[in-house]
Chains A and B, each alone.
Chain A
């Protein structure tokens, strides 16, 4: 419980810290996305139900901060003056699904994280960030009826993912330290299951 609350506090702080992080202009406007990295670290440290709760909270606040709600409907008043039904904006809450999906992927490598093996979790942090941005881009393409993949998009996604990978060991270290301080053992459910059999 204490560990979960501490991680929730850490996640909230990451949202605030994100506001202080600048973009890297020479890297196609890439930016260290701290919030997804902290979420991924929480996702490998917490059990599945708690991960879903964190995914809900993260996606909810992420959309509230970044989504342009009904942007197209408000913009599309040209010539006729009549508002057009909004089909170009993802619905509020779509990030919750994305975080839930990516958090579930991170759950798959929990056993490794518990053993203190960070290579794959670090790699997955970068991959998760890249997937987050790619799925989002594909979603936008689908909603707006035009698929296109300019080089800049891939370079932006790649650089952002690389920055996430670089910071993730520090976040994992912090999560491990916090679990020790809170007296929480990052459990390996798979072994428990074997023992039960």
Chain B
């Protein structure tokens, strides 16, 4: 081996050691800078991919689109009325809480976001959404769809955020099983996201009575995910040496989601 190569190898190993020594905040700062450079390309790339995909989609008649539009407008009106009633209840609830000396509960704020890209280059189950710090988002905010829990925000950039899907094995949530008193920790399973991802609930008692088909909801413990968001339903329960384990089929079809809602509590931060 030539001398120059040895010197280069030593410098390379030194540089790698230096990068390895970075703690979380330093690595996050670098990641944020790099991601802000990638940002316009991610958005353009997502738009191009969407345009290409739409070319193969079957054409729809204008009358069909108009009918769907009318139905959606009615749905929006209906939900607006329900929203007003909900705000009224929250106000009333806070007045009563005030009388009892309880802390005020904050109304939920939902930020709609579009999924730009999914990360399939590595083994993380993540996706980029088109909302970031400019939209007043924060790390660890939960993300859901109308069907159920999707995941939470892990990285924030100026105009985008990265969400970690609940199907990733590092994303953990405290859950309860409907119709039972059982509670456990739900994690994802590493693998390919489109191949019917399964979730696992661990730390259940070995003799727990968990019926197949029981709905699984977030319990609200831990402070990241609010309570009572549907996660999925139990498909199997097995007793292992170190406790019971339930397999859960997610309520959300992760292959099809295009839009998500980021949940925040107004005035909570």
Interface residues of A (CB under 8 A from B): 15-16, 18-23, 25, 28-31, 33, 48-49, 52-53, 55-56, 60-61, 63-79, 81, 86, 88-89, 91-94, 96-97, 100, 136-137, 140, 144, 148, 150, 152-153, 156, 189
Contact = CB atoms under 8 A, between A and B. Distances in A.
Contact of A48 (B8, B27, B31, B34): B8
Which interface residue of B4, B44, B195 has the most chain A CB atoms within 10 A?
Answer: B195
Contacts of B8: 48-49, 52
Given A66-B119, A70-B28, A152 B126 contact: no
| Shortest Cβ-Cβ A-B pairs, 8 listed | A93-B19, A49-B8, A64-B34, A19-B45, A92-B27, A78-B222, A52-B12, A20-B45
Interface string B89-109: 000000000000000000000
Nearest to A92: B27
B35 A22 contact: no
Contact of B49 (A22, A60, A88, A144): A22
Interface stretch (B58-66, B75-83, B163-171, B240-248): B163-171
A48 B8 CA distance: 8
A74 B118 contact: no
Interface residues of B, number: 65
B52 A100 contact: no
A53 B171 CA distance: 35
Given A75-B152, A75-B164, A152-B192, A31 B121 contact: yes
8 contacts: A19-B44, A48-B5, A64-B31, A67-B122, A72-B170, A75-B170, A77-B222, A148-B190
Nearest to A100: B12
Contacts of A100: 12, 16
B104 to A, nearest CB: 21
B211 interface: no
- Secondary structure call for the A interface: helix
Contacts of A33: 121
A152 B185 contact: no
A144 to B, nearest CB: 6
Contact of B42 (A19, A64, A76): A19
B9 interface: yes
Contact of B192 (A77, A86, A153): A153
A105 B95 CA distance: 69
Interface string B192-217: 11110000000000000000000000
B17 to A, nearest CB: 9
A28 B194 contact: yes
B35 A65 contact: yes
Contacts of A25: 194, 255
B226 interface: no
Nearest to B151: A75
B20 A19 contact: no
Contacts of A49: 4-5, 7-8
Contact of A152 (B24, B33, B154, B191): B191
Given A15-B38, A75-B164, A100-B16, 13 more contacts: A28-B194, A29-B193, A30-B120, A66-B121, A67-B31, A67-B124, A74-B139, A76-B170, A77-B222, A81-B223, A86-B24, A96-B15, A97-B16
A57 to B, nearest CB: 11
Contacts of A68: 124, 126, 154-155, 162, 164, 170
B138 to A, nearest CB: 12
Contacts of B154: 68, 71, 74-75
B7 to A, nearest CB: 8
Contact of A16 (B41, B123, B255): B41
A96 B190 contact: no
Contacts of B52: 22
